[in-house]
Amino acid sequence: DGGITQSPKYLFRKEGQNVTLSCEQNLNHDAMYWYRQDPGQGLRLIYYSQIVNDFQKGDIAEGYSVSREKKESFPLTVTSAQKNPTAFYLCASSRRGTSLGTGELFFGEGSRLTVL
Amino acid sequence: KNQVEQSPQSLIILEGKNCTLQCNYTVSPFSNLRWYKQDTGRGPVSLTIMTFSENTKSNGRYTATLDADTKQSSLHITASQLSDSASYICVVRTMNYGGSQGNLIFGKGTKLSVKP
């Protein structure tokens, strides 16, 4: 079945450590996104990529890094520079286009990161 | 400032009852509005999309309405089931002046609990 796979589902990290969250999609979507979700807040955009080898900062990119070497993969690294990394991280993908498409986001199941 | 406000923040209803969730937005220019359902610890899934010209759209027991003049949308759930317990997120997409898809503005969600 087509979809988005995030791993790991749960991750614990010590302060000062970098951690990488995996996101893979087989929907043949051009665009991929990383969002952060905190209790009582709306989803906030960390990074997005419209095409391979290109990505853009979102609203809260500080302390995060990404790469887009393959169309199917968009890993997110949470670095030690991120001051409050404990959160639920969601990866999503969508078709890219300039038409008035609906732009539906297809989300993965999320990764919950806890910093100890 | 583009904003999406949802109400109520949380809601508890008995199984079999109906309920209505509200979404008010101040997004301009408007492209579309989408309702997502997010089960606890999972990624959001699209329920329905409303474009400027649409007033009502149903998806099973879910009916969304849109009043583009007052910039309000509602999601009505009929004959609620225990599986409807989730967060419901309203997301509005802006439109770029070239007609292409713009940014997504997320509401904070309404947490619905359906009790037996």
For residue range B82-112, what is the model confidence (pLDDT) as tens digits? 999 999 999 999 887 776 678 899 999 999 9
The 3-state DSSP class for residue B48 equals strand
- Give SS3 for A110: coil
C-beta of residue B106 within 8 angstroms of C-beta of residue A40:
no
Residues in chain B within 8 Å Cβ distance of A92: 43
Question: Of the candidates B10, B23, B4, B106, which has an alpha carbon nearest to the alpha carbon of residue B64?
Answer: B23
> Residue B115 is which amino acid?
K
Chain B, window 4-33: residues with a beta carbon less than 8 angstroms from a chain A beta carbon: 4, 9, 31-32
Q: What distance lies between CA A67 and its chain's CA centroid?
A: 10
> How far, CA to CA in Å, does A76 sit from each of A22, A40, A52, A53?
7, 23, 15, 14
Task: Give the Cα separation of A60 and B7 in Å (integer).
Answer: 25
Show pLDDT as tens, one digit a residue, over chain A (116 residues): 679 999 999 999 998 899 999 999 999 999 999 999 999 888 999 999 989 999 999 999 999 999 999 999 999 999 988 889 999 999 999 987 544 446 789 999 999 999 98
In this predicted structure, what is the pLDDT of residue A98?
45
Q: Determine the distance in angstroms separating the CA of B112 from the nearest CA of chain A, rounded to an integer.
A: 14
CB contact under 8 A, B104 and A105: yes
Contact B5, B91 (CB under 8 A): no
Tell me the backbone φ, ψ of residue B26, rounded to 5 degrees: -125, 45
Nearest to B99 among A6, A88, A100 (CB): A100
Pick the residue of B40, B52, B106, B111 with the most A CBs within 10 A to test the interface with A by mutation.
B106
Within 13 Å of residue A72, how many CA atoms lie on the same side as its CB? Answer: 7
Three-class secondary structure of residue B4 per DSSP: strand
pLDDT of residue A97: 55
- Taking CB atoms and an 8 Å cutoff, what residues of chain B touch A108? 43
Rounded-to-integer distance, Cα A102 and Cα A95, Å: 9
Can you read off the two tokens belonging to residue A40? 């009582």
Contacts of A100 in chain B (CB under 8 A): 31, 95, 99-101
Q: What is the pLDDT of residue B50?
A: 92
Nearest alpha-carbon partner for B19 in B28, B5, B8? B8
The pLDDT assigned to A99 comes to 45
In tens, the pLDDT along B45-78 reads 999 999 888 899 999 999 999 999 999 999 999 9
For residue B109, the tally of other CB atoms under 10 A from its CB is 26
Nearest CA among A7, A80, A90 for reference residue A47: A90
Gap from A27 CA to chain B (nearest CA, Å): 15
pLDDT score recorded for residue B53: 87
| CA A84 – CA B11 distance, rounded (Å) | 29
* Residue whose C-alpha is closest to residue A113's, from A8, A5, A12: A12
Residue of B nearest to A41 (CA): B108
The pLDDT value recorded for residue A100 is: 40
